[in-house]
Amino acid sequence: MNAGVFSDAMDVIDSKYVEEAMHYQRKRKPIPWIKIGAVAAACILVAGTFTIYNFSKQNQQGVFEIEPRRTLPSEKVEDTKTTIGSETNPGISTDECAADMHRPVGYHPRIGSALALKLSLHKESPEKVYDVVIPCFHRFGEDDCIVERLSDRLDTTSWRCWARIQWSDRGIEEKYHAQLTLDQINIVVEAGLSCFYIGSGKGNLADMNFDNPKGIETYCELVGDKYTFASDGSIAHKPDILVEGLVELEP
C-alpha cells in the first residue's frame, strides 16, 4: 500500500471522526492527595530501610568490581565514570550487578547520540540468559522498537558474542556492538539510541518495552539529561552520562 491510497482514504473518511478529534477534551482527574501522601510515606520508609541494609551489607562484603575497560589509543579518557553498586554509590545491592554508562569522546553531546554501557552480571549464575531490547528512535520520530535477542547470537562454548547490525533497509542507520562474556555485557551503540534494556530472559521478549517492564529485571534508560539504572526492583536515577573512553571492539 502506498501513501497516496492511505491519504485518499483519509480524505473520504466519515466527518464524525474529524469532529471528534477537533472537539476532544482531555479528562481532568482529581489529584488524589491522600493516596500520594500515603505512597510518599511508604517510599521514604522503604528507601530508608534499604539504604541502612545496604550500608551494613557493604561493610561486610567486598565490592563487585567491573574489569578495567580497554580504550582506543586516540581517545583521551577522563576518569569520571559513575558506578552503581560500588562503594561510591551504595544504591543497589553489590551482589547483583554494577554498571556504568559513558559517552565516548567526540560524540555529539546530546544524550543518546552514542552510548556505551558496561554491565556486570550475576557472577553466581552464568547460565542466565540476558536479552537486549533496543527501541530505536529514528529521524521521523519515535517509531518501532527493534528487538534483538543477543542470546541467539551467543556462542555458548566461549560465552562470547559480537554483533554489528545495521537496519539500513528500513531507513534506519543504527548500529550496536556487543560483547557477552561470562559476567559482563559490553555494548556500544551508535546513532540515535535513547535507551535500552537488559532483560532477565524471563517473560516474552516481544512484550519487553519501556511501557511494560514485564520480564525486565535490569534496565538502563535515558530520560532527558538523566539516566536510570534499575535492578531487582531498585531504581537509581543518575545525572548526565559522563565522558569516557570508547570500549575497543574487535573488527
Partner 1 sequence: MEKAQQMSIQDGEIIKLFFERSEQAIRELETKYGNACFRLAYNILGNRQDAEECVNDAYLGVWNAIPPAKPDPLLSYVLKIVRNLSLKKYWKNRAIKRDCAYTVSIHEIELFLATPNTTESEIDALELAKMIEEFLDMQTTENRVIFMRRYWFSDSYKDIAEQVGLSEKTVSVRLTRIRRKLKEFLIQKEVLV
**Least distance (Å) between residue 87 CB and partner 1:** 34
- The answer to whether residues 116 and 187 touch, using CB atoms and an 8 Å cutoff, is yes
* CA 132, chain centre distance (Å): 9
Distance CA 200, CA 183 (A): 14
Of 194 and 200, the one with the shorter C-beta distance to partner 1 is: 194
Count of residues interacting with partner 1 (CB under 8 A): 35
Of 23 and 35, the one with the shorter C-beta distance to partner 1 is: 23
Position 31 contacts partner 1 (CB under 8 A): no
- Dig out the grid coordinates for 207 from the structure: 512484550
Write the CB contacts of 225 (distance below 8 Å, at least 6 apart in sequence).
Answer: 111, 239, 240
Of 89 and 228, the one with the shorter C-beta distance to partner 1 is: 228
The single residue among 58, 151, 209, 234 that binds partner 1, judged by CB under 8 A, is 209
Select the span of 21-29, 79-87, 102-110, 241-249 touching partner 1 (CB under 8 A).
Answer: 21-29
Position 10 contacts partner 1 (CB under 8 A): yes
Distance CA 155, CA 10 (A): 49
Select the span of 65-73, 119-127, 178-186, 204-212 touching partner 1 (CB under 8 A).
Answer: 204-212
Distance CA 174, CA 136 (A): 8
Position 225 contacts partner 1 (CB under 8 A): no
Position 206 contacts partner 1 (CB under 8 A): no
Position 32 contacts partner 1 (CB under 8 A): no
Of 145 and 154, the one with the shorter C-beta distance to partner 1 is: 145
- Dig out the grid coordinates for 12 from the structure: 473520504
Phi, psi (deg, nearest 5) at residue 176: -140, 155
Select the span of 42-50, 57-65, 142-150, 226-234 touching partner 1 (CB under 8 A).
Answer: 142-150
**By 3-state DSSP, what share of the chain in percent is helix, strand and coil, each rounded to 5?**
20, 30, 45
Distance CA 76, CA 244 (A): 8
- The answer to whether residues 150 and 171 touch, using CB atoms and an 8 Å cutoff, is no
- Dig out the grid coordinates for 142 from the structure: 519515535
**Least distance (Å) between residue 207 CB and partner 1:** 12
* CA 19, chain centre distance (Å): 40
**Least distance (Å) between residue 3 CB and partner 1:** 4
The single residue among 1, 59, 127, 239 that binds partner 1, judged by CB under 8 A, is 1
Position 89 contacts partner 1 (CB under 8 A): no
| Chain residues that interact with partner 1, rule: CB under 8 A | 1-3, 5-15, 17-22, 24, 26-28, 140-145, 170-171, 209-211
